Amino acid sequence: MTSSEKLLWCYGLAFPVYSLGPGPRLGLWVTGCKRGCRGCQSYNLQDKKAGYPLTITQVCNRILSYNNNLQGISLSGGEPFEQINAVSILLKQISGFKILFTGRFKRASRATYL
């Protein structure tokens, strides 16, 4: 890892996932959320330290290992927008249909299609 490489705090990766979008996809759950929404379904992911840090390269290598059957990636958490710099770097490096689940925007859809 170079000192300039971004870290992404992750809770888990799962493949195949069929409930978070079309086709067999990779589910990636990130940690860290300061919103503290009442009734949060992922309260255990609010603490950033609940996860483990991975470099973007490590996450990309993991995603590429599923390349033959992977049709997309869905990010959830925690709050992916709290790690937006690392998330945006990751999303630019992978292909496929990308979905980002967020609780950040009250009037926007809960899923942002990228």
**Which structure tokens are listed for 63?**
């995603």
Give domain status of residue 80, yes or no. yes
CA–CA dist 32, 51 (Å, integer): 8
**What integer pLDDT is reported at residue 87 of this predicted model?**
93
Phi and psi torsions of 28, nearest 5°: -125, 120
If DSSP states are collapsed to H, E and C, what string results for 32-100?
CCCCCCCCCCCHHHCCHHHCEEEEHHHHHHHHHCCCCCCCEEEEEECCHHHHHHHHHHHHHHCCCEEEE
Reply yes or no on whether the pLDDT at 86 is more than 90.
Answer: yes
Query: Would you state the structure tokens that stand for residue 1, as one six-digit string?
Result: 């890892």
Number of domains comprising the chain: 1
Domain assignment present for 106 = yes
CATH number, domain with residue 57: 3.20.20.70
Instruction: Look up the domain containing 11 and give its range.
Output: 7-113
Average pLDDT on 84-111 reads 77
pLDDT tens-digit readout, 67-81: 677 888 899 999 999
Closest to 16 (Cα-Cα) out of 54, 63, 76, 53: 63
Residue 2: inside a domain: no
Residue 53 located in a structural domain: yes
Does residue 65 register a pLDDT over 90? no
Residue range 2-53, pLDDT digits in tens: 546 889 999 999 999 999 888 888 999 999 999 888 888 888 999 999 999 9
Say which DSSP state 86 is in. Answer: H
**So what's the pLDDT on residue 109?**
45
32 in a domain, yes or no? yes
How many C-beta atoms lie closer than 10 Å to residue 16's C-beta? 13
